[in-house]
Structure 1
Amino acid sequence: MSSDVPVLELRGLEKYFNTSSGLLDTVKNRITRKSPTFVQAVDGVNMQLWENQVQGVIGESGCGKTTLLRTLIGLYKPTNGQLLFHGDPVSEFTKEEWKEFRRHVQIVFQDPFNSLDPKFSVRRTVAEPLEIHGIAYDIGQIKEMLESVGLTPAEKYLGRFPNQLSGGEKQRVAIARGLITKPDVILADEPASMLDVSTQAEILNLLNKLTDEFGVSMVYISHDLSTVSYICDKINVMYLGRVVEEAPTKQLLTEPKHPYTQALIQSIPIPDPHYERERAAVGGEPGDPINMPAGCRFKNRCPERMDVCDQTPMDVALSDDTNRTVACHLYYDHSTEKTEQAQ
């Protein structure tokens, strides 16, 4: 595979859900000539994931993070836009190519308590992807993978079932299952959020080590900016289905541009009772994903709101760094935009 193209690339990716509950609603809409309404869960997302890179997707609950991940793995069919794997559009994949895609793109789910089959031993759980894809293996490979994820000695765990494992051990088994086929990409859906704090740190350290050790790329989603900042090379900030800012991790944390990103960073807990800082100036709740407001989707909560925010902001590549973009009216010249439109 060429390293000149991204491992995964998203071009204007969209995933909408029809809110009609069934045949009755569909017939009713046709009779009344009412257009169906949609939840715009993922709306025009662009992303390039490169070899051995870890990118985070951060945002509040309901912003579309998990929908994005499930669209990437093929559980949801995109409504519009393109998803490319090593430069090839997955929309043109044959059944065999989809199977090969799923060998090279694996997912680690959020809930380790339900992502493992209770009837499968650890040995069978880790071996199952190899059997599905017809890959020859021996017990030595299973043991080696368990050792890699910190389940040592491996013999102690091979015959155990999920009910005999702790939450952290379950997630380590899930990670081993994801890595056993030697994938190019791991999609991690908040893999540490359901674990206690000390176990969260262990899993994050493990993922950090394994991405370097196996040379795998990863999309890591979370609502917790502190964990994303620990593991990711680059962060995408998502709000109501759209990425409002993307930047290398250090730049995003030290110089956030979008008002929503600034509010998220101001909300990170600091373990010092004597530390004083300005509170995030964001109130209210996220907007309705069905009746989406026109223009900037953050405008009704934004402390920097202007009249022009009733228009949809462009994705602006900041002049000081082409490796980061922000979708905000604060960062481009609207007079220049009007001149270009007139021409």
Structure 2
Amino acid sequence: MSEPVLELDGLEKHFVQRDSIWQTVKHAFTSSSPSRIRAVDDVSLTLDENQVQGIIGESGCGKTTLLKTLIGLYEPTSGDMYFNGRPVSEFEKRDWKEFRRRVQIVFQDPFNSMDPKYTVRATLKEQLDIHDIPYEEGDFHDILKQVKLSPPEKYLDRYPHHLSGGEKQRVSVARALILEPEVILADEPVSMLDVSTQAAILQDLRDLTRDVGVSMLYISHDLSTVSYVCDRVNVMYLGRVVESAETEELLGEPRHPYTQALINAIPIPDPHYDREPMTIAGTPSDSSDLPSGCRFKDRCPDRMDVCDVAPRHVSPADGSTASVACHLYDDHDPAEGEGVTVDE
């Protein structure tokens, strides 16, 4: 097995919540600490070469914060990240520049991620200039053909306001690919596009990862699009990955109650298909005041007493690469507290 291109080990990103004047005075006199928002909490995953992994979850679960931490826009609170086996914590300035060439991001909003004063040619050229990469006019033609903007001459001198939403997002993908990256971080890249354009962009992303040999982390709140493009899916809830499995296994045999609810909520394009409506009781907890133990326990239909203790990740079947953090699949003896850890 080759070395993973990207590896996370217990990665965390917490934010200190801003306090009011009254709360600041209270902390000063009581020696209490400001509230912390655990946006990303103990996330571990391994992204292999030419693999596409999805990260799925509700809005506010920490998906985008995870992505921004990976690209270096946020400094991790704790945990380790490795790029091609090397700890990112050891990077110097020149290492970060090389890292940001090899790890590219495609933003959610194609309408604001392009500079309105730049033509498509200038948008692509800027990337190459920043990294001192020599280029020829033919390079721009080749990359636009790769993202299915043909003929290239039709697009190179256009400004963003001359392009449709789908065309802008294709230019965003071309802007990432022109640097020949090893990893693409895609932050809900089709959520602002119409359904027909979504399907086309998703198919192109899938084809490009196979043809170019690039790995991708695909972040979305829509499990139906994630399942279309990803080899493996990680399900996040309130900053933690609660289940991870190969896409077909996760869709065919979801184990965590939260994953089951997400899959049952996927619309079925058949007006005559009859099924019980799927709802999750309650609302997600406040990220600054998370419950102890399992973070899904207050909404879970299978809640048990042991859920007051944080579950560990276990593999629920022999030979499976799946992992689920749920007491329903753990062999520990709740009375003895074996195999579980307290969520501090």
Instruction: Provide the TM-score with structure 1 as the length reference.
Output: 0.95
In the TM superposition, what is the alpha-carbon distance from 1:321 to its structure 2 partner? 3.2
In 1, Cα distance between equivalents of 2:49 and 2:335:
36
- Report the Cα distance in structure 1 between the residues aligned to 2:283 and 2:317, rounded to whole angstroms: 32
Q: Does 1:58 align with 2:56?
A: yes
Alignment correspondent of 1:224 = 222
Q: How many residues align?
A: 339
3-state DSSP class of the match of 2:122?
Answer: helix
Separation (CA, whole Å) in 2 of partners of 1:34 and 1:177: 47
Alpha-carbon separation, structure 1, partners of 2:260 and 2:153 = 48
Flag structure 1 segments of 5+ consecutive residues without an equivalent. Answer: none
Give the TM-score, by structure 2 length. 0.95
Query: Structure 1 CA distance, aligned partners of 2:140 and 2:123?
Result: 10
Task: Show the counterpart of 1:245.
Answer: 243
Structure 1 letter corresponding to 2:264: Q
Residues 77 and 214 (structure 1), Cα distance of their counterparts in 2 relative to 1, 3 Å cut: same
Counterparts in 2 of 1:260 and 1:163: CA distance versus 1, 3 Å = same
- Contact 1:82 1:89 (C-alpha < 8 Å) held by counterparts: yes
Return the match for 2:85 from 84, 87, 104: 87
What is the CA deviation profile of residues 195-233 of structure 1, one whole-angstrom value per residue up to 9, with x for unaligned ones?
000000111011011101110000000000000000000
Contact 1:237 1:245 in 2 (8 A): yes
Partners of 2:332 and 2:338 within 8 A in 1? no
Assess if the C-alpha contact under 8 Å between 2:297 and 2:303 holds in 1.
yes
1:204 matches 2:202: yes
Q: Which runs of 5+ in 2 are unaligned?
A: 340-344
* Letter paired with 1:135: I
In structure 1, the residue matched to 2:342 is: none
Post-superposition shift, 1:128?
1.2
Instruction: Answer yes or no: is the 8 Å Cα contact 2:11–2:79 preserved in 1.
Output: yes
Gap change, CA 1:144 and 1:23, over 3 Å in 2? farther
Match of 1:150 among 123, 148, 151: 148
Cα deviation for residue 336 of structure 1 reads: 8.1
Contact 1:41 1:67 in 2 (8 A): yes
Q: Which letter does structure 2 place at the counterpart of 1:41? A: A
Q: SS state of the match for residue 314, structure 2?
A: strand
CA distance in 2 between counterparts of 1:69 and 1:281 reads 28
Q: Corresponding residue for 1:73?
A: 71
Distance 1:274 1:289 in 2: 40
Structure 1's consecutive aligned runs of 4 or more residues displaced over 4 angstroms after TM superposition are: 21-28
Matching of residues 302-341 of structure 1 within 5 Å? 302-335=300-333, 338=336
Instruction: Find the aligned partners of 1:58 and 1:265 in 2 and give their Cα distance.
Output: 11
Partner SS for 1:170: helix
Aligned-residue CA RMSD (Å): 1.7
Alignment of 1:120-159 (within 5 A): 120-159=118-157
Task: Report the equivalent of 2:292.
Answer: 294
1:318, CA displacement in angstroms? Answer: 2.1
Rounded to whole Å, the distance in 2 between the matches of 1:312 and 1:155 is 57
- Mapped to 2, the partners of 1:59 and 1:250 lie a distance apart of 18
The answer for the alignment partner of 2:159 in structure 1 is 161
What is the CA-CA distance between 1:322 and the residue it aligns to?
A: 3.8
Contact kept in structure 1, 2:19 and 2:34, CA below 8 Å? no
Note if contact 2:280-2:299 (Cα within 8 Å) is conserved in structure 1. yes
1:332, CA displacement in angstroms?
Answer: 1.1
Alignment pair present for 1:96 and 2:94: yes
In the aligned structure 1, how far is the partner of 2:250 from the partner of 2:133?
41
Partner of 1:186: 184
Rounded Cα–Cα distance in structure 2 between residues aligned with 1:264 and 1:241: 16
Question: 1:12 is matched with which residue?
Answer: 10
Q: Amino acid of the residue matched to residue 185 of structure 1? A: V
**Separation (CA, whole Å) in 1 of partners of 2:160 and 2:64:** 24
How many Å apart are 1:74 and its aligned residue? 0.5
| Distance of 2:305 and 2:100 partners within structure 1 | 46
Question: Whole-Å Cα distance in 2 between the matches of residues 184 and 294 of structure 1?
Answer: 38
| Structure 1 residue 63 displacement after superposition | 0.4
Deviation larger for 331-340 or 66-75: 331-340
Q: What is the CA–CA distance in structure 2 between the aligned matches of 1:18 and 1:101, rounded to whole Å? A: 28
1:260 matched to which residue of 2? 258
SS in 1 for 2:43: strand
Deviations 1:11-37 (A, max 9, x none): 000000100258996576334312121
Deviation readout 1:140-167 (Å, 9 max, x if unpaired): 0011001110110001111000011000
Is contact 2:52–2:230 with CA below 8 Å preserved after alignment? yes
Identity %: 63
